[in-house]
Amino acid sequence: MRKLALTTVAVASVALLALSGCSSRTDAPASTGAAAGFAADSLIGVALPSKTSENWVLAGGLFESGLEKAGFKGDVQYAGASTIVKDQQDQISAMVTNGAKVIIVGAADGGQLSTQVKAAHDAGAVVIAYDRLILNTDSVDYYVAFDNFKVGELQGQALLDGLAAKGKGPHNIELFSGSSDDANSAVFFNGAMSVLQPKIDDGTLVVGSGQTDIKQTATAGWKAENAQSRMDSLLTSTYSDKSIDGVLSPNDTLARAIITSVKAAGKPIPVVTGQDSEVESVKSIMAGEQYSTINKDTRLLVAQAIKMVQQLQGGVEVEVNDTKSYDNGKKIVPSYLLPPVIVTKENAAKAYANDPTLEPLTK
C-alpha cells in the first residue's frame, strides 16, 4: 500500500470500449460500488488546475467535447495561475450549487480540497479524482489516473539504461522531483528511487550534491524557471570540475529547463528523463538531446473518466482495477489505473504511431 503523503474525443467512443480491458493490476475486483443513477442530460463538473502543461490544455477540450457527445452538460473550469487553489475551491463549490451530479477534479493542491469535496458529497454528487489524488478526505469516491508509481519506475530504469550506454560507471547524477503540493510528485519520486536507490547504495550512481531527500529535490509549482535555477546552482557548486552524467527529471517541462542550464554551462548534455510526451520534448528526443519521456495518452484518460460518469449515470457498478494501492490518508480510494509507456528515440515511432500530433515528429 502506497501512502501518498509519503510517497477530438472523436476517438472517445472507441476508447471507452477498449479501455474496459486495460488494466495495470490484475488482483483487484473488476468493479466496486453502485450508483443510483441520474438523468442522462445532467450537469457534470470538471475542475482542472491552471494550464501549466500541454496535457491539461488538451484534457479540457477533450472533456468538453466528450461530455457533450455523451449527452451530458459539461462545466469545465481551469483555475487561475496566481490564485490557483482558491479558484479551484470556488469552482467546485459553484458546481455543487449548480447541481452537478459528478465532479471530476484534477487537483491544484490535493491537500486543500477536503471541505469542498465533502460539500459535494453531502449534496449527493460523486467525486472522481482525475490524475492527482485528493488527500485526507473520505469524500472522494474514485481515482482515475495512469499508474504513477510505475511512471517513476520507468523513469528510473530509463536513467539506468541511458547511463549504461555511456559505460560502466560510476556515474554522477542529480535528482529532481515535482511540486510538493502535488500528491503525484512523491509517487513519481518513490517509484524512481525504488530503482535507483540500490545503485546509489552500491556506488554505481553518485549523487554529487548529496541531495537525495524529496524536500531537497522538489520543484515549486512545477515551474521550469525553478528547475533551471536549481540546475544552475548545482553545476556551479558541484560540477565545476567534473561531468554530470544523468538527471532524473519528473516531467518534460523540467527536463528541457535542465538541458537549457547544462547547455548554458557549456557541458555535454547528460541523460535526462521526462514525462508527458510534450511536443518540444519529443523533438528533443528525436534530436538526441532529452533521453526519454513517458507517454500517458490524455485521450485515453479522459475517455476512461467519461466512461465512469456513464456508468454512474446508468446506475451500474463503476469499473476499477486497483483497490489496494492508493491510500489518501483517510481511505483507500478505488482506482482505475492505465499503463504508462516509456519512450526513447528507439521506440518513438511505434509509441506515437496513432497520435496525429506526435507521429509526424518521429519520421
CATH of the domain at 62: 3.40.50.2300
Give me the mean pLDDT over the 36-49 stretch. 93
Does position 112 have pLDDT exceeding 70, yes or no? yes
Number of domains in the chain: 2
Residues 312, 291, single domain; the answer is no
Q: pLDDT tens, 222-240?
A: 999 999 999 999 999 999 9
Residues 50, 178, single domain; the answer is no
User: For 258, what's the count of Cα atoms within 13 Å in the CB-facing half-sphere?
Assistant: 33
Give me the mean pLDDT over the 125-152 stretch. 96
Q: Residue 119's domain spans which residues?
A: 2-140+297-339
What is the rounded distance in angstroms from the CA atom of residue 323 to the CA atom of residue 332?
7
**pLDDT given at position 83:** 86
Q: pLDDT tens, 242-298?
A: 999 999 999 999 999 999 999 999 999 999 999 999 999 999 999 999 999 999 999
Beta bridge partners of 142: 128
Residues 190, 209, single domain; the answer is yes
Overall residue count recorded for the chain in this entry:
363
Note the helical H segments in 202-329. 214-217, 224-238, 252-264, 279-286, 298-313
Is 224 a domain residue? yes
Give me the mean pLDDT over the 37-46 stretch. 96
**pLDDT given at position 51:** 84
Query: What is the DSSP pairing of strand 2-3 with strand 326-327?
Result: parallel
Helix (H, G, I), strand (E, B) or coil at 234: helix
Exposed/middle/buried for 226, CB within 10 Å: 0-12, 13-18, 19+?
middle
**Per-residue CA distances from 191 to 99, 124, 248, 344 (Å):** 39, 36, 12, 19
Is 41 a domain residue? yes
What is the rounded distance in angstroms from the CA atom of residue 233 to the CA atom of residue 224?
14
**pLDDT given at position 52:** 74
Mean pLDDT of the chain: 90
pTM: 0.82
Residues 250, 175, single domain; the answer is yes
Query: What is the DSSP pairing of strand 171-175 with strand 73-78?
Result: unpaired
Task: Please provide the distance, in angstroms rounded to a whole number, between the alpha carbons at the two ends of the chain.
Answer: 42
**pLDDT given at position 81:** 74
Does position 82 have pLDDT exceeding 70, yes or no? yes
**Per-residue CA distances from 240 to 172, 176, 207, 227, 289 (Å):** 13, 19, 15, 18, 21
